[in-house]
Amino acid sequence: MNNKSLISINDYSKEDIIKLLDLAEEFEKNPNQKLLEGSVIATLFFEPSTRTRLSFESAANRLGGRVIGFASKDSSSVQKGESLKDTIKTVNSYSDLIIMRHPLEGSARYASEVASVPVINAGDGANQHPTQTLLDLYSIRKTQGTLENLNIFMVGDLKYGRTVHSLLMAMSNFNTTFNFISPEELRMPEEYKMYLKEIGLKYYEHTDLSDVISDADIIYMTRIQRERFSDPMEYEKTKNSYVLRNSMLEGTKDNMRILHPLPRVNEIHDDVDDNKKSYYFTQALNGVYTRMAIMTSILGLK
């Protein structure tokens, strides 16, 4: 790992992951530890975000750190044509840790090579969003008591969804069985299925959501975006076939929980929100503890 930055979930071993989740658990029990007192955290969001930015800032504030940064590229010198390298070189000297979201893929890895302080990737285009993956893992472990031998259903846009790809890679350390439910056009890419075959993990593919979810431990929902379809008619046909409704949860396992990286549009019906199996809002809260763990561990404070 380069100067302890967190860029890609693939940089973390199974042991690294478990250590971070244990630490996040500690923060959940005792969130008010002033470990970042005297530290300045920079949040550079070249692309808008609600949860990721605010949960990082909330985590930093709870730990007593100061936060500087910008929430969109319009309020930075990028607007004047400044290169990413120059922006990072500058912010580098104002802060102890850089948290960055950027629309270009690979920008976070590059920033970590330019910066002398650690960089946390808060999303680089369609590539990686490792802190989301860690909070997903935290949520799975918390609700299931373990990460081992689970049956995980991924639903929706499995072709372009970076969260499902990273989650798949991370969960492949834990003898997971995968079920992929998606429209034909948005199936899990071949490279990930090849990888599962290589390491000997089972996966199943379905195009129908309704009757296969009864043995799921986790249902991980994602948003299907209109712009992903080459044929708009195809989108109109499929958009309502991947909506999870409360009535569909009958007969699902007791321990089953529904996760979603959020924001959702219509893929989880509002009537699911009151079901105890819905977990997505708590999942978002878990992001704060997970990010506390990530920041303090990267800065060597824990």
Partner 1 sequence: MTDSSKTKLLVSAIKNGTVIDHIPAKHLFKVISMLGLEKISNQITFGTNLESKKLGYKAIIKLSEVYFKDNDINKIALIAPHAKLNIIKDFKVIEKRDIEVPEQIEGIAKCGNPKCITNNDNVNTVFFVMPKDNEKNALKCHYCEKITDPEDMEVF
- Looking at the annotation, which residues are catalytic? 51-52, 80, 101, 129
Q: Is 262 left (phi over 0), alpha (psi -120 to 50) or beta?
A: left
How far does CA 27 lie from the centroid of its chain?
A: 19
**Smaller CB distance to partner 1: residue 53 or 109?**
109
Considering the rule CB under 8 A, would residue 62 count as an interface residue with partner 1?
no
How many Å apart are CA 58 and CA 180, to the nearest integer? 34
How many Å apart are CA 207 and CA 281, to the nearest integer? 27
How many Å apart are CA 209 and CA 1, to the nearest integer? 39
- Kindly tell me which residue out of 14, 34, 85, 197 binds partner 1, with binding defined by CB under 8 A: 85
- Kindly tell me which residue out of 3, 48, 75, 104 binds partner 1, with binding defined by CB under 8 A: 104
Considering the rule CB under 8 A, would residue 47 count as an interface residue with partner 1?
no
**Minimum separation from the CB atom of position 102 to partner 1 (A):** 8
Binding span for partner 1 by CB under 8 A among 68-76, 102-110, 142-150, 237-245: 102-110
Binding span for partner 1 by CB under 8 A among 107-115, 136-144, 237-245, 246-254: 107-115
Binding span for partner 1 by CB under 8 A among 105-113, 151-159, 173-181, 291-299: 105-113
Q: Quickly tell me which residue has 């976070």 as its tokens.
A: 108
Considering the rule CB under 8 A, would residue 253 count as an interface residue with partner 1?
no
Considering the rule CB under 8 A, would residue 197 count as an interface residue with partner 1?
no
**Minimum separation from the CB atom of position 144 to partner 1 (A):** 28
Total residues in contact with partner 1, by rule CB under 8 A: 18
Q: Facing residues of 206 across strands?
A: 181
Q: Nearest CA to 98 among 56, 49, 42, 55? A: 42
Cβ atoms 172, 195 nearer than 8 A: yes
Amino acid letter, residue 280: Y
